[in-house]
Structures are given as C-alpha cells and as structure tokens.
A and B are shown apart, each in its own frame.
Chain A
Amino acid sequence: MTTYVIGRLLLMIPTLLGVAILTFVIMRVVPGDVVALRYAQGAVPQEVIDKERAQLGLDRPMYVQFTDFMTGIVRLDFGQSLWTDRPVMDEIGGRFGISLELAILATLIATSLAVPLGVLAAVKQDTWVDYVIRVVSIGGLALPSFWLGIMTILLLVVIFQWAPPLIFKPFWEDPKENLAQLIWPALAVGYRYSAVATRMTRSSVLEVLREDYVRTARAKGLREVLVIVRHALRNSLLPVVTVISLEFAFLFGGLVVTEQVFNVNGLGKLIVDAVAHRDYPLVQALVLIFSFVFVFVNFIVDLLYGVLDPRIRYA
C-alpha cells in the first residue's frame, strides 16, 4: 500500500511537469506581452518599453526564464505578477478560498440532489417517475450554467430587488452574508452538475439491481428499503464517487463563466484576466494549481476505490 501511494505520487511529477512546460511554451507563443499590452494605447518611446521589459526580466533568454520558473516551482515560489507586481501567491491566496468554498457548496448541492434522485429513477425504471427525473437531469446538462445564472439574477432582481454583491465577505467574518452571496451561484452550478451524477447513479444502481445478491436479499424477505440502501446503493457507489470527485476538480477550475455572471472574485476570473494580461507567472501558477487539484483528486479517488470495494487491492 505504502509503495503504491508513493509510486502514484511520484507518477504525478511527469504529468505536472508536462503541464508546466506546455503552459510555459503556450504563453510565450501567444503574441504580445505584458509590456506591449500595458502601453497598447498611446505612443511610448521604445526605450521605455525596453527598460520595462528588462526590469521584468522578459529580455532574458528563454532557457534562463525557464530554469527560473522550474527552480521556483521547487521552492514553491512563483515569483511576482507582471501586471500588479504583487507576489503571485498573494494574488491567488484570497481567491483560492472563494473558489474552494464555491466548489464545495456546489458539490454538496449536487450530491444531495443526485444520489436520492438517481436511486429513485433506477428503482422506478421506465415509469413516469424515471422519465421525469431523466428529463430533468438531461435538461440540467443542457442549460448553460451561466444562462441559468442570468435567469436566477433576473428573478432575484425582479422579486427580491437583489443585486450581485460588490464586496465579498469571507465566511469567518460574516457566515450568513457569505452564504447569501455564494448560495445562488452554487445552486446554479450545483443543479447542472447534479445532472451528471444523477445519471451515473441511475445506471450504476440499475446494473447492480440485476445482481444475484440483490435477488437473494429480496428472496430472504429483506425490506425493500434495506435492499436498496445496503445492497444496491453501497455496491454502485464506485462510479458515482468517481464522477462527483472529478466534477469537484473540474468545478474548482472551471467556473470562469459563472464567476463572471455572479461577480464572484474567484480563480476563474483571475485566470481569464491573467491570460488577457499575458501575466506569465500568474498563468503558470494557476494552471499548475488546477492540474494539481485534478491529478490529486484522481489519486484520492483511486484510494477510495480500495475503501469502498475491499476486492480492490493495491500491490
């Protein structure tokens, strides 16, 4: 087990290294740099531009910049933002919490919708209950979450005269206000992501319901609720957990549009601005964080397999 964990952790390194290299290359291939963008308007003498490039270290040869980036990663130092001059870690710091909270809230909402609905649809397969749940969940996949967000705002504005918050309140300062701010985007996103998990729960439970041990459990007269919860649901959790975890990883880095609509200052908004400003260190750090979360969640899921299904053993 320990060998397996260490092995898996080591295997993350080449993937993350690939991601880091790819980000570095892509950002340099993209035309324009931060200085050019800053002085896009107005005629600025070439000397000023050159001086600023030199100040930011953009005139150094590529390989020097690259080794700088790589040694920085090892020391967990991503340098300073080229746009704001603040350390990259400070830029990311506060927003990390917002994105994390939003992702957790949305995942909670999605899970608490998906598991009961998915089980219900499977148990009532091919009845109107099943059809309604399937249509609602396929509909959830079809609604763009940003549009759902816009519609939510429209309703909130019309009915409650609510407006998107201008200043974000952290959870520990004002839990009520904080939740009031984040609950709407979390609901809009959570509904959409519950759709994927509902469908997975349904098909997974359906498969298990046909197993012999379910028939045995029913034959020995076990109450149907217990058959479903203890026998069917427990054994169909594996793919459901996988889907939910991967969604969590995705939510963490993928809320770009929703954040825009609800005016939430999270990582998604940050990366769009960072790419737009060609803020190399910030983009590199953010992509690396997103990829790390993705790879790490994958790893946790693999470990969970062993917990959920004792037949799976890691040599």
Chain B
Amino acid sequence: MSAAAHSAEEIARRRYLEDTSARRFRRAVRDFIKRRPLGTIGAVIIIVMILAAAFADVVAPYRPDEGVFTGLPLAPSLEHLIGTDSYGFDVFSRLLYGARTALLVGFTSSLVGSTIGLVLGVVGAYFGGKTDETIQRVMDVLISFPLIVIAIAVIAALGPGTTNVIVAITVPFIPRVSRVVRASGLAVVRMPYIEAARSVGVRAPRIMFRHMVPNVFAPYLIMLTAFLGQAILLEASLSFLGLGVVEPEPAWGLMLRGQGMTFLDQAPWLAIAPGVAISLAVFGFNLFGDSLRDALDPKLRTA
C-alpha cells in the first residue's frame, strides 16, 4: 500500500520534472480523444478537409477547369466519381478545390473578426466609462443590423470576389465576440492581480495583453471555433445568392447556384454533392467546437 503510494507519487514527480509543453500538448490531445469521441470525429473531418485542400493538386484527378465541353452533365462513373457538370468539369475535383476557398474564407474571416472583437472587448472592459460606452453603442448598431444586410451592403459597395466576401463575413462577427469577451473581461478587471499590476506601474497595453487577454482567451477561442463553421456556411449562402465568390473560382455555394439549380431534375448529383461537402465541413467544425467548449468551459464540465 505504502509502496504503491510512494511509486505513484514518484511517477507524478518525475512526470512533473520531465514535463515539456510538447508533452503536455500530446497528453491534452490524448485526453481529448479519449473523453470526447464526437469532438474527435469533428477533428478528423477538419484534418481530412485541410489535407484535401492542401493537396488538391495531387489528389484531384482533374484540374478544376479541365474538361471536354459536353453541354449535358455526365452521370457518375469510374472515370468521374461524382460525374461532370455541363462544361465537362469533374465534380469531385471541383469539390476538392472548393475546399480551399471554403477554408480560406472560413479561417481568415473568423480569425480576423474574433480578434478585432477580442481587442474591442478587452479595451472596453479595461477602460470602462466613456470608451466602453462608445464601443458598446457602435456594437449595438452593428448587431441589430441583419447579418445578411451587412454582407449585401459590403458586396454592393466593394463588388463580389473572395477578398470582399471575407470582409463581409468578418464585420458581423466583431460585435458578437466583443460582447462576450467584454462580459468576461469585466469580471477579470476587478481581480486583485490587475490592481497589483497597475499599482506597480505596469502600463495599460501590457496589462491588457499579458493579464487580461489570457484570462478571456477561453470564450474567445470558443466563439472563434463556432464562427469557423458559420463562416463557411455564410460564404456558401452568399456565393449561392451571387454575392460571393465569382466564377471560375471553384466554390461549393457557386456550384449549387449555377449547375446545381439548372440541372436539378436531370443531374441531381450536381446539387447533392456540394451541399454534402458544405454540410460535412460545417458539421466537423461544429462537432469540434462544441467539444472544445465543453473542455474549456469549467461551468459546463461534466464530472
């Protein structure tokens, strides 16, 4: 009994001494896989999607703009796994290249939007008073603007195209993140360590960056992962409406809009395939984000 306790203690001590951040990360990953099966499935979907996008040149059997014009879509066959569209483009290859667009828009817009929101939320919580009030009012206006209207306005002003779609999707994310971060930040700002830092003369930017940001990082990360799926969905919706990515760029929403709708009853695979791709991608990000939230938010942690 005592020997067992001794050895357990010994193991813990040795583990502590030998702990490196790489090891801690690996252990966290193992823990996540073991305790959150759904999240792991999500992570696998995301990784497969990233690989597909990164190696589209190698994996895809055809170039996205390579094909023999047929005028009519070809049904799925061994040569074309999900058939072709009416231009003779291979649907499977276009799906792979479309993953690039989706990931690019998803990651950029949610990262930029959430980070701007983080900065505004922390600044508002730290300074309070007039600064906070002003930021809050502007955020109120932005948040009560219907999301699709902001997107339409940005596209109308800047014109369609991948970069502008990213801007259009980024803007509505900002107020949502800033609200959540500010709420957490208000609790943090009252902590004794903030007062301590201030009283020894640490400057405001440093306090915000070194002491506040790490403490509001969990909600930030949760919102960020939640928005990843949302951004992919929004991009698809905007492209579907003709307000997003423009041809000949391969994008899932665009495939649905043009070919998918035109040949709905003759070649349903043209409408089914991109929709499945969108859903699967968003599903993966949501599953992962959900489990990450459970793992990061102690309030919701299940024993």
Contacts and interface: CB of A to CB of B under 8 A. Distances in A.
Interface residues of B, number: 42
A219 interface: no
A144 B237 contact: yes
Nearest to A14: B137
A203 interface: yes
Interface in B135-161: 137-138, 140-141, 144-149, 152-153, 156-157
A151 B149 contact: no
A144 B230 CA distance: 10
State the majority secondary structure of interface residues on B.
Answer: helix
A271 interface: yes
A168 interface: no
Contacts of A29: 157
Interface string B272-293: 1001001111110011001000
A215 to B, nearest CB: 15
A139 interface: yes
Given A142-B286, A144-B237, A153-B264, A254 B156 contact: no
Nearest to A294: B144
A135 B147 CA distance: 26
Interface string B225-252: 0000100010011001100000000000
A116 B146 CA distance: 29
Contacts of B282: 141-144
A295 B141 CA distance: 10
A98 interface: no
A290 B146 contact: yes
B152 A271 contact: yes
Among A126, A146, A271, chain B packs the most CB atoms within 10 A around the CB of A146
A272 B141 contact: no
Nearest to A22: B141
A254 B148 contact: yes
B256 interface: yes
A15 B280 CA distance: 38
B148 A30 contact: no
Contacts of B157: 26, 29-31
A134 B146 CA distance: 28
B261 interface: yes
Interface in A227-271: 250, 253-254, 256-257, 260, 268, 271
B19 interface: no
Contact of A271 (B149, B260, B281): B149
Given A142-B282, A143-B282, A154-B271, 13 more contacts: A18-B140, A22-B141, A30-B153, A141-B282, A142-B283, A144-B233, A144-B278, A144-B282, A154-B264, A271-B149, A275-B152, A291-B146, A294-B144
21 contacts: A15-B141, A15-B144, A22-B145, A30-B157, A138-B290, A142-B283, A147-B279, A150-B271, A154-B271, A207-B300, A250-B147, A254-B147, A257-B240, A260-B241, A268-B148, A272-B241, A275-B156, A287-B146, A290-B149, A291-B144, A294-B144
